[in-house]
């Protein structure tokens, strides 16, 4: 039963979550006296979330169905928790993420505990020889229900059950995962936490996630006890091959489980009936060509840029390119994340601690400190640098 995954077509007003759980035998280990932790994907809130809406965070109606299921089951100790992107200058905190996603209202209405993991203790754990810190309320739960969204992800190709657990880390550990080796550490964390039940909210799928406005309607839920099995099916629903996804390969290697979908019992809808085509890779060139901006290159290191810098830089540079639509500049480069030392330092702006540390002593470069840098600082400095060739001393920190 452990390798069973259900696929349910979502029908408004019906008990879809209950059906998905029942079809995979997902609640067999649940007891009504358990301390239950629901870990939904609530990656971002605040102004950044406002115009995105679909496919970015859990749908409140799906979460509400799970809450009703747990209450009907007799569970009384239920918490919902996550640690969302922190960009206070854009109003993005876990608190605003709970608010904009409708979770705050759900927690109040059903009398549940709502936890911003950053406001609670973390426990030091050694994984793969490295020290990381995991949320204590997650570790102390008797039963963890993991609720990812059906996403293609621009660094990890998919973001499903295993990747969703990264939200249980403290902020330094999240950043360190990108230095330690993102795929391997996502897999190690997944095998360590191994949630009891995984329910993928696939009402919409997201292209080029974790945060984008490029979504499509899929209208399904997936459920199962085995996170790898659920992710194999979710990856196929998105239209990708599980063996192409680095963290799934790592997870399978660690646990000895198979990536072969033929070894998973799929119940409910057939996979072929719900599959879509998805896109996961993004380039900065896409944003620049959307605004017809020329002469700028952005040097990054893919998975070496952590999500905080990814969100902060894409927001800041989006605002700059929008303001400078159609303009061409003398060649200039912006460096983000832990990239190899840049050979030519003239006309370079180093954005954030990692880029600065990798290019210490580089005369002539402009540095924007921060980890991540403040979005408004980056916006102001990049815009001034592009339009005047320099930054004012008060901005050049
Ligand atoms: S500078 Fe940016 S990429 Fe480096 S650790 Fe800080 S937030 Fe992450």
Per-residue model confidence (pLDDT) at position 302: 73
Per-residue model confidence (pLDDT) at position 396: 43
The answer to whether residues 244 and 309 belong to one domain is no
Ligand 1 in reach of 306 Cβ (< 6 A): yes
Residues 231 and 80: their CA atoms lie apart, in Å, by: 22
- Tell me which DSSP letter residue 92 carries: B
The answer to whether residues 198 and 288 belong to one domain is no
The domain tally of the chain equals: 2
In sign, the C-alpha dihedral spanning 254, 184, 284, 172 is: positive
Closest C-alpha to ligand 1, atom 7: 372
The answer to whether residues 288 and 183 belong to one domain is no
Has residue 327 been placed in a domain? yes
Domain boundary among 227, 251, 274: 274
Segments of the chain scoring below 50 in pLDDT: 1, 393-397
Has residue 396 been placed in a domain? no
Q: How far is the CA of 85 from the centre of ligand 1 (A)?
A: 13
Residues 210 and 43: their CA atoms lie apart, in Å, by: 8
Has residue 394 been placed in a domain? no
The answer to whether residues 146 and 26 belong to one domain is yes
Has residue 229 been placed in a domain? yes
Ligand 1 in reach of 57 Cβ (< 6 A): no
Q: How far is the CA of 305 from the centre of ligand 1 (A)?
A: 6
Has residue 161 been placed in a domain? yes
The answer to whether residues 222 and 289 belong to one domain is no
Q: How far is the CA of 378 from the centre of ligand 1 (A)?
A: 14
Tens of pLDDT, residues 326-375 = 999 888 888 898 876 776 656 888 999 999 988 887 777 888 999 999 99
Which residue range forms the structural domain that includes residue 183?
Answer: 4-274
CATH code where residue 91 lies: 3.40.50.11440
Torsion of CA 120, 45, 162, 272, to 10 degrees: 150
Could you tell me the two tokens for 214? 């490029």
Atom of ligand 1 nearest to the CA of 308: 7
The answer to whether residues 321 and 348 belong to one domain is yes
Per-residue model confidence (pLDDT) at position 230: 98
Closest C-alpha to ligand 1, atom 6: 371
**DSSP string covering 186-222, please?**
HHHHHHHH--SEEEEEEEEEEEEESS-S-EEEEEEEE
The answer to whether residues 210 and 266 belong to one domain is yes
Closest C-alpha to ligand 1, atom 4: 354
Has residue 204 been placed in a domain? yes
Tens of pLDDT, residues 209-236 = 998 889 999 999 999 999 999 999 999 9
The answer to whether residues 172 and 301 belong to one domain is no
The answer to whether residues 247 and 294 belong to one domain is no
Atom of ligand 1 nearest to the CA of 370: 1
Residue in 82, 93, 95, 181 with CA at minimum distance from that of residue 138:
82
Has residue 397 been placed in a domain? no
Residues 99 and 46: their CA atoms lie apart, in Å, by: 9
Question: Does the model's pTM come out above 0.95?
Answer: no
Per-residue model confidence (pLDDT) at position 391: 63
The answer to whether residues 152 and 32 belong to one domain is yes
Pocket test for ligand 1, best of 351, 353, 370 (most atoms within 8 A of CB): 353
Domain boundary among 246, 274, 302: 274
Domain boundary among 250, 274, 298: 274
The answer to whether residues 190 and 85 belong to one domain is yes
Q: How far is the CA of 172 from the centre of ligand 1 (A)?
A: 10
Helix residue ranges per DSSP H, 101-245: 103-110, 136-140, 161-164, 171-180, 182-193, 227-238
Pocket test for ligand 1, best of 170, 176, 305, 351 (most atoms within 8 A of CB): 305
Has residue 208 been placed in a domain? yes
The answer to whether residues 38 and 169 belong to one domain is yes
């Amino acid at each position: 039963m452990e390798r069973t995954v259900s696929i349910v077509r979502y029908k408004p007003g019906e008990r879809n979550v209950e059906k998905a759980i029942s079809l995979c035998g997902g609640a067999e280990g649940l007891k009504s006296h358990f301390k239950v932790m629901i870990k939904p994907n609530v990656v971002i809130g605040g102004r950044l979330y406002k115009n995105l809406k679909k496919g970015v965070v859990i749908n409140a109606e799906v979460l509400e169905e799970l809450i009703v299921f747990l209450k009907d089951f007799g569970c009384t100790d239920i918490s919902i928790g996550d640690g969302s992107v922190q960009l206070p200058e854009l109003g993005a905190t876990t608190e605003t993420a709970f608010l904009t996603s409708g979770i705050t209202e759900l927690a109040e209405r059903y009398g549940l505990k709502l936890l911003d993991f950053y406001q609670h203790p973390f426990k030091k754990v050694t994984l793969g020889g490295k020290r990381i810190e995991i949320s204590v309320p997650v570790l102390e739960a008797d039963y963890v229900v993991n609720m990812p969204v059906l996403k293609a992800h621009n660094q990890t190709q998919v973001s499903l059950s295993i990747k969703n657990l990264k939200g249980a880390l403290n902020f330094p550990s999240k950043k360190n995962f990108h230095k330690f080796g993102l795929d391997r550490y996502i897999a190690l964390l997944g095998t360590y936490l191994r949630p009891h039940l995984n329910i993928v909210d696939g009402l919409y799928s997201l292209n080029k996630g974790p945060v984008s406005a490029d979504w499509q309607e899929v209208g399904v839920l997936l459920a199962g006890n085995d996170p790898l099995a659920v992710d194999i099916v979710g990856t196929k629903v998105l239209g990708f091959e599980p063996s192409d996804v680095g963290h799934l390969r790592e997870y399978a290697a660690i646990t000895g489980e198979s990536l072969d979908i033929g070894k998973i019992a799929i119940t409910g809808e057939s996979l072929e009936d719900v599959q879509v085509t998805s896109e996961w890779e993004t380039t900065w060139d896409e944003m620049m060509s959307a605004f017809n901006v020329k002469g700028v290159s952005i040097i990054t290191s893919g998975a070496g840029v952590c999500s905080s810098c990814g969100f902060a830089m894409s927001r800041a540079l989006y605002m700059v390119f929008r303001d400078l639509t159609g303009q061409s500049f003398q060649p200039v480069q912006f460096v983000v994340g832990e990239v190899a030392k840049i050979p030519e330092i003239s006309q370079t702006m180093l954005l954030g601690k990692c880029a600065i540390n990798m290019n210490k002593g580089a005369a002539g470069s402009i540095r924007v400190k921060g980890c991540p840098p403040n979005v408004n600082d980056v916006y102001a400095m990049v815009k001034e640098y592009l339009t005047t060739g320099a930054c004012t001393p008060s901005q050049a920190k």
